[in-house]
Amino acid sequence: MKDYLFYFHFTMMEKKVKFCPECGSPNIEWVLPQVWSKWRCKDCGYIGVLILEDGEIAAELRKKWKKE
């Protein structure tokens, strides 16, 4: 049962869209699958543990980043 709950939680985490906190891009990935708390943005090069899951905030960041 414990393994099933872990798998269910992991699957649900995968389905949420995540955004870069620097540029608002959804084009992010784990730095290493084994270190799933660190993310890398393919657009701006951000590497860190903080990510966004709010699309509205990400859209505002994306507009600002594209202007710069």
**Which of the four pLDDT bands, split at 50, 70 and 90, describes residue 8?**
very low
pLDDT the model gives residue 64: 84
Rounded Cα distance, 11 and 28, in Å: 17
Residue 5, in any domain of the structure = no
Rounded Cα distance, 55 and 65, in Å: 15
pLDDT digits (tens, 9 = 90+) for 16-30: 789 999 998 999 998
**Which of the four pLDDT bands, split at 50, 70 and 90, describes residue 6?**
very low
- Whole domain around residue 44: which residue ranges? 17-67
pLDDT digits (tens, 9 = 90+) for 23-52: 989 999 988 877 778 999 999 999 999 988
DSSP state of 3: H
Domain count, the chain: 1
**Which of the four pLDDT bands, split at 50, 70 and 90, describes residue 15?**
low
Structure tokens at 11: 């699957």
